[in-house]
Structure 1
Amino acid sequence: MRQLILSLMAASAGLIAQPCIAQMPDPIDGVEVQTQAGTLLGSRADGVLVFRGVPYAAPPVGDNRWRPPQPVEPWKGVRAATAHEAPCTQPVDTDTMVANFGGVNGAQSEDCLYLTITAPENAQGAPVLVWFHGGAFFLGAGSLGSYDGTANAKRGVVTVSVNYRLGALANFVHPALDAQNPQEPKGNYALQDSVAVLEWVRDNIAAFGGDPEQVTIAGQSAGGGIVTNLLSIPSAKGLFDKAIVQSGSLLLPDRPRAQAQGMAIEALETIGIGADATADDLRGISAQTFAASEPLRAGFFFTPDDSFKPTSTIAALRAGEEIDVPLLVGSNQGEGGFRGARTFASLAGDEGAPAFLYRFDHTPAFREGEWTKGPIHSAELMFTFDSIDQSSWGGERADAADRALASTVNECWVAFVKMAPGARSFECGAGFEWQPYREGGDVALIETGGLRMAPADGLPDGPEQEEAASP
């Protein structure tokens, strides 16, 4: 009997243990890098190094909520950087398998100021692309598959993809916070995070093979809005030398501070927080509560601050006082925004550094039944990153034409990142020469067969305008 029991126990243990063994991931091929805060352990695969969940600032929680990003606390030993940390707090579907409109599902956290770094193995002095994700300023994450930096790395570029604070935890001003830390800038915490990222890149990216003197900032939608605003923030000057804005020009004036405070007070009343709330009261509200509240979740936009954000980028452009670097800007055929992109290119390229204008016109064959008016918002991402197989938009449904164009477009984006200082044009895509835009000039049309220059004037702002112009 004892032998039978032992046999059954052994069999049961085998049944339990075997599935666990089968589900274990393969061991990583680890690689260590020394940063100012400590040693990181990343992974190596096919000549590409990836470091996930890299902290660039202290967690913005507790007393650090609604304060400028604080320095990372140095750690002892080797810190694993082989898995992504949770995205910033945002509204998600109760079904954890369903992504929100920013591409995020599952757990999130207010402790979210982390980077993903993808670099060529053995790189030295490689140009750097710092990527700010989209998501209407209250959704999204830098770790999504569409932003995979592998193709960039294989072309010799280090990619740094960023999480920045979202919603009311990012864009929020309130009278109760004014008296605390009076020497610190108030509001615009996502932008303050963005400057902190660029400072981190300046101080650490050489350890990953990157050149801190060759940094391009780039973003799409809300991330493009981050880039747009960085062009007029004094503390960002000298931290980057080129800029890419995809479907997110957002050349808007800042929201007056008093108006933003009033909007915050009114929104807080919907969750039972009165106008007399103290700073401790506000910091006692859970991050999830902000994300769940429709009046609060999106935040209250960018606000003026004399010490950090003394002007808007549209005002700086009109005065000729923006941070003058080469700019690549455009939009997709099936969305609005081309007129804004053209205005941006005209203002940025009127003197000094050149501006390059594009419109993305390729609709994948598997999307033709849905995108009847052309490629929609975000459609260009898996092409600019050449990330079809990592993106939820592509994968097996993509055909040879999609893959060929993705390779070409990624080559052109990388060519801009690598463009020599002082250059007025650059080549990519089997001999295509991308010329800068001046008012009344040409745009680069990105079509199924590749890129071509064409007159920009007369192109509609988006599909609605195109329909209105039709007979």
Structure 2
Amino acid sequence: MRGTPAALVGVMLITAFQAPAIHAQMPEPIDAVTVDVTAGALQGSRENGVLVFRGVPYASPPTGEYRWRPPQPVKPWSGVRSATAHEPACTQPVDLDTTVANFGGVNGAQAEDCLYLTITAPENASGAPVLVWFHGGAFFLGAGSLGSYDGTANARQGVITVSVNYRLGALANFVHPALAAQHSDEPQGNYALQDSVAALEWVKNNIAAFGGDASRVTIAGQSAGGGIVTNLLALTSAKGLFDKAIVESGSLLLPDRPREKAEEMAVDALAGIGIGADATADELRSVSAQTFAASNDLRAGFFFTPDAKFKPKAAIDALRAGEETDVPLLVGTNRGEGGFGAARSFATLAGDEGAPAFLYRFDHTPAFRAQEWTNGPVHSAELMFAFDSIDQSSWGGERADAADRELAKTVNGCWVAFIKMPAGAQSFECADGFVWEPYEKGGQAALIETDGLRMAPADALPDGPGKTE
């Protein structure tokens, strides 16, 4: 280095010492795969024997003038769009420590531009059945990209998994007089549900590019995602976009909130951030998404509301009238949470129109959780078993034992068997010969226990811990 300035020598030496570390942190080269969808070409990756596409847009960003508007079509792009990394989750409150997840499992970046899918598919699939998954999170938390929802096990059994991000909180469930006056010809409120229908329409138009069959689509969700599925069954705009449904701990058999009440609640909550009752639509859209997420009174939104154009009837009313989309339903809860009574009612209402309803209760408590879950598996405990995603879930990993892993294969296999079940069937078989019979009032539910599945009288099962019939 004779004749080289001392400062430059220092930089060169630092660079030389850092180079191996930088190289060690670089990701492995992508084993790329490209598909063509209606908006352009997507490049995903081959991973663990399956194809994965992340950050796939199914609607335009619901930002600016399109906040609190129906989801708009994806604008075509030029060239090949990378789909190898997740886009940020929808705007929601997160911990200041970006390494700590919120109660919806999300940490780090989130954004209002968030209408994206994660797609996991078998390679060289043709006519594959499809699972469209709606995540939980109380309608204001969560993301479809979380590890518990990893679709690898499904893909290895011939099922394509499409996991959906939908708008959250006050950016999803919000009505206001100023917004109604500006676009009176459009559906108002229920934007998460409108997003969900848009995602299903995208699947109908594009899933063949991934080897999927648009006529064999099962919609599924847990907690709030189960509530999304419950409502999709009652929406005319969703009819024909799916042929089966799964609701895990999310039987949302509640009336909608009257629109006038929701508007009043929104106006009152906006006063807490200094927005007056006479605010214009443009002024409302000028408020940052993060401001809504940071407000205790606004962050959760104001629930589903009636809308003559999009949601004229609450799901519970449609079910009672026998007017819901009549498809096979798999529904249940976990022993350590409430809600089994609602799941049983759902199975009764959904199963009275011809298509069968299959009822379950998940009873397995992992050994490493025995001291915490003294009343049985809690809310969300079944997810890493339904997806066989123990190693991807923050709830599992190395702490899981052989019994957990064996049951995960069994439960996931049963979910896959339901997804593959012909829509006209009245029962299905899984778990090496277990025949899952449909629930009828006064009938049986499948108990999912450490040793496997068995049928048991459903009316004898309490609604939740410490409750009796």
Query: What's 2:59 paired with?
Result: 57
Q: Distance in 2 between matches of 1:442 and 1:13?
A: 68
Query: What's 2:404 paired with?
Result: 402
Q: Distance in 2 between matches of 1:9 and 1:197?
A: 51
Q: Distance in 1 between matches of 2:411 and 2:251?
A: 20
Query: What's 2:19 paired with?
Result: 17
Q: Distance in 1 between matches of 2:15 and 2:233?
A: 61
Return the letter of the residue paired with 2:345: T
Q: How far off is 1:3 after superposition?
A: 6.0
Query: What's 2:376 paired with?
Result: 374
Q: Distance in 2 between matches of 1:104 and 1:326?
A: 32
- Show structure 2 runs of 5+ residues with no match: none
Q: Do residues 262 (structure 1) and 278 (structure 2) align?
A: no
TM-score by length of 2: 0.98
Q: Distance in 2 between matches of 1:93 and 1:249?
A: 29
Q: Distance in 1 between matches of 2:236 and 2:29?
A: 45
Aligned pairs for 1:189-200 within 5 A: 189-200=191-202
Query: What's 1:154 paired with?
Result: 156
Q: Distance in 2 between matches of 1:326 and 1:157?
A: 17
Return the letter of the residue paired with 1:94: L
Query: What's 2:106 paired with?
Result: 104
Q: Distance in 1 between matches of 2:62 and 2:270?
A: 20
Q: Distance in 2 between matches of 1:279 and 1:145?
A: 38
CA deviation digits over 1:119-168, x for unaligned, max 9? 00000000000000000000000000000000000010000000000000
Return the letter of the residue paired with 1:286: S
Q: How far off is 1:8 after superposition?
A: 5.2
Q: Distance in 2 between matches of 1:464 and 1:311?
A: 34
Query: What's 1:88 paired with?
Result: 90
Secondary structure in 2 matching 1:343: helix
Q: How far off is 1:30 after superposition?
A: 0.2
Return the letter of the residue paired with 2:261: Q
Q: Do residues 463 (structure 1) and 465 (structure 2) align?
A: yes
Name the % identity. Answer: 76
Q: How far off is 1:234 after superposition?
A: 0.4
Query: What's 2:320 paired with?
Result: 318
Query: What's 2:358 paired with?
Result: 356
Q: How far off is 1:22 after superposition?
A: 1.4
Q: Distance in 2 between matches of 1:409 and 1:368?
A: 20
CA deviation digits over 1:411-461, x for unaligned, max 9? 000000000121000000010000000000000000000000010012110
- Provide the aligned length of Structure 1 versus Structure 2: 467
Q: Distance in 1 between matches of 2:112 and 2:458?
A: 43
Q: How far off is 1:333 after superposition?
A: 0.1
Return the letter of the residue paired with 2:166: Y
Q: How far off is 1:4 after superposition?
A: 8.8
Choose which of 202, 205, 214 in structure 2 pairs with 1:203.
205
Query: What's 2:450 paired with?
Result: 448
Q: Distance in 1 between matches of 2:165 and 2:9?
A: 52
Q: Distance in 2 between matches of 1:413 and 1:22?
A: 39
Q: Distance in 1 between matches of 2:125 and 2:333?
A: 32
Gap change, CA 1:464 and 1:9, over 3 Å in 2: same
CA deviation digits over 1:204-257, x for unaligned, max 9? 000001100000000000000000000100000000000000000010011000
TM-score by length of 1: 0.98
Q: Distance in 2 between matches of 1:117 and 1:362?
A: 29
Q: Do residues 138 (structure 1) and 136 (structure 2) align?
A: no
Q: Distance in 2 between matches of 1:90 and 1:186?
A: 21
Q: Distance in 1 between matches of 2:415 and 2:320?
A: 27
Query: What's 1:169 paired with?
Result: 171
Query: What's 1:2 paired with?
Result: 3
